[in-house]
Amino acid sequence: MLTMSEMTIEAENLGKMYRLYKHPRDRVLDAFGLNFWRKEYFQEFWAIRNLDLKVRKGERLGIIGKNGAGKSTLLKIIVGNVSATEGKLTVNGRIQALMELGTGFHPEFTGRQNISAALSYQGFSQHQIASIEEEIIDFAELDEFIDQPLKTYSAGMYARLAFSTATTVEPDLLVIDEVLGAGDAYFASKCFDRMKRLTQDSGATVLFVSHDMSSVEMLCSKCLWIDRGRKRMEGPVLEVTKTYAQEVRERTAQRVKAKNALMSTEASLSMRKLRENPLQLILCFVRVDGSPIQVSAVRLYADGLEPIEIKVGAPQDNSTQYDGFVLIDNIFSVWDRPVEDTTGHHFRAITTLADRRSAVVFNFDGLSPSTNLQLCVKFRGVRGATARLEVYDGSKFHLIADIGRPVTRIEAENDWVKWTGTIRADIVENLMEVSGFIKFPTSLAVHPQEHNAQTLTHMQHLPEFEREGNHPDTISIPEASNGVANPYHSGEIFQGKVAVEKVLFTNARGEETPIVQTFDDLYVHIDYHVLKGPVALEFVVCLHRLGIIASQSLSGLQEHGIVDGQEGWTGRCTLEIPRLPLGKGNYFVSIGIFPPLQYNSLDTEKLAYVLHDRRYELHVEEPENIVIDLGMCRARVRWKFSQR
């Protein structure tokens, strides 16, 4: 059992809620308590919630997570810049915080004057300041700039001055939020050495927020992963950072793989548009009768797509930076405030207002018109409570189902159940045909509803909605016929003789993945169809990065690299790249099929039977044990040494 003297930070059930106002005047009225007669003039946004944390004296805790996950909010509460909305927090000792560039120092003061002002604010006498001033300047290495105004400093120079001043004081708790990212690698290394000495010599505690996993692993002994305002994982630094990095890789691979598959089979103009603008699918809950139904989670999934789940009522459920979120505009879409019950479930109740809906939004950056989306809703309600579940297709509403409790069943109010069903492909297709993507309508309530689905009353007890790999059984709904876009009409060049049907990337283990490590084997597979023949075919694969051709391979340069194709034939061409000689980065891949090329001419592109110009993506990563940038090209070299 740790005593308070051994603990620097102890937080229990910590939460921070911000009020988001639709109009600036509401903020002013609220500050004076004049909005008490109005309802729904703001929405709650929980930046963090239900967060427990214990940090012992002398620990170096790394805090990681996506942008907007709640890392900075947690640090601001610990430092005292903002107060927690709920929970308990105890912080022992003197705090030094480097949170944001530009705070704490005056831009018109020189570097030397800012040092003096910062230390005076902390109670240092002029004699004490004079004794350590040169040490600060020496560590910051700003000799020629120390008497220049701070406004002339670069971000890296500011970081040097701020860190040097803060750590010279030897605080009990040092808090650093991404500030060192503005400095160079040399100074960052000096900072890490000083922070390690602080923890070893004076027992100082360090909280370090960074997106650079190598920096976290280099400095910290323990790691906290925050995801959507909640603690996702805490433990030894390597264990947490590797798990986090693996999830990032898997999500990236899933997204890019879906995009590449979409570009292969249905590369219409609207599909290309989706690469820059997500398709937004809106689901709405509408109360029919009884008490409001409480919704805890909504999940969409389909073959080839990463499942998107909205944990309704959980922290940051209404943050629009994620693939799925609760839509609250207090005009069209209204939800009750988020609640956590005694069983640990977060939820929101749908609105009881007759002319309003409760909506959720899913963002897709890769979706085919022929896709049937599978839907699962986790909800509960007292007997007789019913609601409609609708989907907006860009022009009108479609009824998916009536959800609620059958009259013949009486269940306890805390009995969570699930409903499963399908969003038909023709609805998805119509949504994509409207514009290729959809923005929030200003008023959706005026559109007629289309009651074209069966009323679904099949419900079952939900074991664990979040259990991976156990997708719920789908309830069949009659499907309308839908057309599929012709996959052969939208290549950058297409002459009607040969079509590329699919392009995929695999590793040495045969796994399909758009992420590969430097020095690993890479295989590029091109599935093609000869529409008119006979033809002689030469295949070209070109990898681009930063506007430069990083690598280009032509099958005709290899013996027997020209293929004779007869009309109606289908085949697969595979390019093998042993020990991929490319450095870390994102590459765009062009795929082309040509008649046999003349290599002494540059005017060959227009000869292509089909050309997909930079349509596919490939991510190359460094091996985990290498953090140094070795450049774009990795030649196979051998070092030799001798005496002379």
Q: Identify the pLDDT of residue 469.
A: 34
User: Per this entry, what is the length of the chain?
Assistant: 644
Pick the CATH number of 493-621 from 3.40.50.2000, 2.30.110.10, 2.60.40.10, 2.70.50.60: 2.70.50.60
287 CB burial (10 A radius; 0-12, 13-18, 19+) = buried
User: What per-residue confidence (pLDDT) applies to 481?
Assistant: 26
- Per-residue pLDDT tens over the stretch 42-73: 778 899 999 999 999 889 999 999 888 999 89
Please tell me the predicted confidence (pLDDT) of residue 304: 65
Q: Residues 566-589: pLDDT tens digits?
A: 999 999 999 999 989 898 888 999
Find the helix or strand (DSSP H, E) in which 193 lies: helix 185-201
Residue 368 banded pLDDT, cuts 50, 70, 90: low
Closest by Cα among 396, 394, 366 to 278: 366
| Stronger pLDDT, 539 or 33, i.e. the higher one | 539
Identify how many contiguous H helices and E strands the chain contains and give both numbers: 10, 32
How far apart CA 376 and CA 516 sit, in angstroms, is 33
Query: How is residue 317 written in tokens?
Result: 């459920």
- Mind listing the pLDDT tens digit for each residue in 402-426? 665 433 333 335 578 888 888 888 8
Higher pLDDT, 327 or 453: 327
Decide which of 144 and 59 is more confident: 59
Over 80: is that where the pLDDT of 116 sits? yes
- Mean of the pLDDT values across residues 251-271? 61
Q: How far is CA 257 from CA 263, 273, 622, 628, in A?
A: 10, 17, 20, 28
Query: Residue 21 has what pLDDT?
Result: 72
Mean pLDDT along residues 305-329: 88
How far apart CA 533 and CA 556 sit, in angstroms, is 19
pLDDT for 332 equals 82
For residues 465 and 246, which has the higher predicted lDDT (pLDDT)?
246
At the topology level, CATH places domain 4-240 in Rossmann fold (3.40.50)
- At residue 219 the predicted structure's pLDDT band, cuts being 50, 70 and 90, is confident
Q: Per mean pLDDT, which of 107-111, 164-168, 273-277, 543-547 is the most reliable? A: 107-111
Parse the chain into domains and list their residue ranges.
Answer: 4-240, 266-461, 493-621
Token pair 């038909």 is found at 424
Consecutive H or E run containing 507: strand 498-507
Per-residue pLDDT band for 41 (boundaries 50, 70, 90) equals low
Question: Which pLDDT belongs to residue 400?
Answer: 79
Q: Give the range with max mean pLDDT: 131-145, 480-494, 513-527.
A: 513-527
Q: What is the dihedral of CA 156, 158, 160, 164, to 10 degrees?
A: -170
For residue 97, the number of C-alpha atoms closer than 13 Å in the C-beta half-sphere is 18
Q: How far is Cα 489 from Cα 500, in angstroms, rounded to an integer?
A: 11
Nearest to 186, CA basis, from 140, 152, 235, 245? 140
Bridge partners (DSSP) listed for residue 540 = 554, 592
- What is the structure's pLDDT at 87? 92
